[in-house]
Amino acid sequence: MSSLNLDDFTDLIERPDGGVRRDAEARRERQIVPPGALGRLDDLGEWLAAAQSAVPVRPIEQPRVVLFAGDHGVAELGVSAREAGSAGELVREILDGGRPVSVLARRLGVSVRVVDMALDCDPESLPEAVVRHRVRRGSGRIDVEDALSLEEAEAAFRAGVAVADEEADSGTDLVVLGDASVGGTTAAGVLVAALCGTDASVVTGRGGLAIDDLAWMRKCAAIRDALRRARPVLGDQLQLLATVGGADLAAITGFLLQSAVRKVPVVLDGVVVAACALVGQRIAFRAPDWWLAAHNSGEPGQAKALDRMALEPLLDPGVKVGEGAGGLLALPMVQAAAALAAELPEKPEPSEKPDDAETSVGSETPADEKPTSEPEGDSS
């Protein structure tokens, strides 16, 4: 029996300040560019003001990429273009600066934090700061067994909460949240299908490296089999994460909810994070008000999850690689919205004329008030 009471998040999470948002809207109406002319940048600026409880909105000065990493046993079925158990190599590539997220983060001046939750590799092969929250080595094969024990799921969830607190305490003012996993999109598909009441085929995508048709069919079958195991535990979100999620997905869910508690906005990257956000919404219905969907990754499971949470992606660049890369592409747009909301000048107030103003310069003298000429004097 878990000692973690997820219902507490319902009471702890408040919506962004509605009164501040109305103040931000009023300020926007006074600025020199007409409201609506900046499209979604207007909404973003007002959302940020409400999240920060500040008008004018403060600039995003300490953004951070946070990636939760793990290997999933279901990858043994050939559902991923990457080899099963190879997420550790992916993490090393990220840390060495050779992945898209690494390049984009350097260009944007953003630091990347990777948190190992269930990598199938020797922990000594990675820095201590990466592995210190690890719950286990790899998650179970969800089509035939639980991904985690309930105790492991609780430990992973609490690790996500702890990482969110660390980020909030260090001054992080916006998080781009992603995953570095192998087999994670399969687990995500199961969560989305279970929570949305859909079939496996509706949520099965081709992953970041575009698997072929045979691999897609294997993935669809794995999601179908895992879905049968998920449905009986739908009423218990922690048990759901233990049954068909994984340590990285449980940690992401905990991170999302605690970030909402700490009032730190989060940009959601891909289908794995979207699936965890959907679990988070089931736990605390106000939590999605603190999240932004960065982009449309093309994964049907992501589209289904975002639609259920009424979150519209900011961008549609066609990026499928995951790892927070698509989330980083949205960061300049969020920063631009903050700058425009704060720095655009307001329209000048119209000048008022005094009530007793005289006739303006250049007006004609009324005909009946023409000056009379002086009488002519004697010439003598």
186 contacts 79 by C-beta, under 8 angstroms: yes
Q: Are β-strands 266-268 and 174-182 bridged in parallel, bridged antiparallel, or unpaired? A: parallel
Q: Is the peptide bond before 332 cis (omega within 30 degrees of 0)?
A: no
Catalytic residue check, 323 = yes
Spot the catalytic one: 25, 323, 346, 364: 323
Count of beta carbons in the 10 Å neighbourhood of residue 134: 20
Which residues are known catalytic residues?
323
